[in-house]
Amino acid sequence: MPATAEAPTVDHRITRVGVLGCGLMGSGIAEVCARSGHEVVVVEADPGAAERGQARVEGSLAGALRRGKLAEADHDAARQRLDFTHEWDQLAGCELVVEAIAEDPALKVAAFQRLDATLTSPTAILASNTSSIPIMKLATATTRPEQVIGIHFFNPVPVLPLVELVPSLMTSKDTVARAQAFTSDDLSKNVIHSQDRAGFVVNALLIPYLLSAIRMVESGFATSADIDAGMVHGCAHPLGPLALTDLIGLDTTMAVAESMYTEFKEPLYAPPPLLSRMVEAGLLGRKTGRGFYDYRS
């Protein structure tokens, strides 16, 4: 059984957080950490990507200010706590780094190897926002597997309250407790715990549902609009499965499905051919302007 949360054996308060990657998930993670009072260093691949990530976070903060969800003083304070860079050594003094790069096992393993060499604190936590990749695979790429844990946020991070904590067999109880305190107390998230199995709790239930909807479209059973309308109006879901797949990203959905199929070899996790073809065509959903629906107008 994985470690369970209990009081940390040593008080290692997390004040400085690193976020590796500033796409949709990384930018949301950086925002909620800054809004909760933490100093945040955001690292991207190059200066251009860092600038785009900064614009994404600042745009979200400005939107929260306009909607009255964030006071002006809190908005300004959060902006001041954020530092965007492409230089990995800026992460050195962080007590926690959350990796939020592409859902590619090779890229993530390489990132954890580099983080392990970069972080100077002997108690620093190395966390991954992976949706499906086994935490043990990432932990064994480091010299400190007991300090590696999955902290899986949900998109949009500033809005959705859930976080999955996923320790590996090597994660220490102290790391679990510190991650629990950070996510539940500091970030005010609702935290659930999962064993280190591909997909964790939510995606193990969600991905087969999304793939089933894609198979219905593929077979001509029903249109995307009718499938989504059925689940929205018949089951009170806020989004239908095809619209949700567009929001998640078809490439991310396929990567999670492939990871789960690799681990379990269950047909329900196998990506349908239609999903594979759409990813090959670059029809990835909202982020590219077209997926099961067209967002370009």
The gap from C-alpha 35 to its chain's centroid, in whole angstroms, comes to 18
- 188, exposed or middle or buried, with CB in 10 Å at 0-12, 13-18, 19+? exposed
How far apart, in whole angstroms, are the C-alpha atoms of residue 166 and residue 148?
A: 9
152, 224, 258, 259: the catalytic one is 152
60, 128, 131, 259: the catalytic one is 131
Q: Report which of 144, 201, 202 is spatially closest to residue 175, judged by C-alpha positions.
A: 144
Tell me whether residue 86 is one of the annotated catalytic residues. no
Give the CA-trace dihedral at 188, 189, 190, 194, to 10 degrees: -140
DSSP 37: T
How far is CA 150 from each of CA 20, 191, 292, rounded to the nearest angstrom? 14, 12, 30
27, 164, 172, 224: the catalytic one is 164
Task: Supply 160's token pair.
Answer: 């959705």
Tell me whether residue 131 is one of the annotated catalytic residues. yes
203, 224, 258, 259: the catalytic one is 203
Q: Which residue has the tokens 């600038």?
A: 51
**Which residues are known to be catalytic?**
131, 152, 164, 203
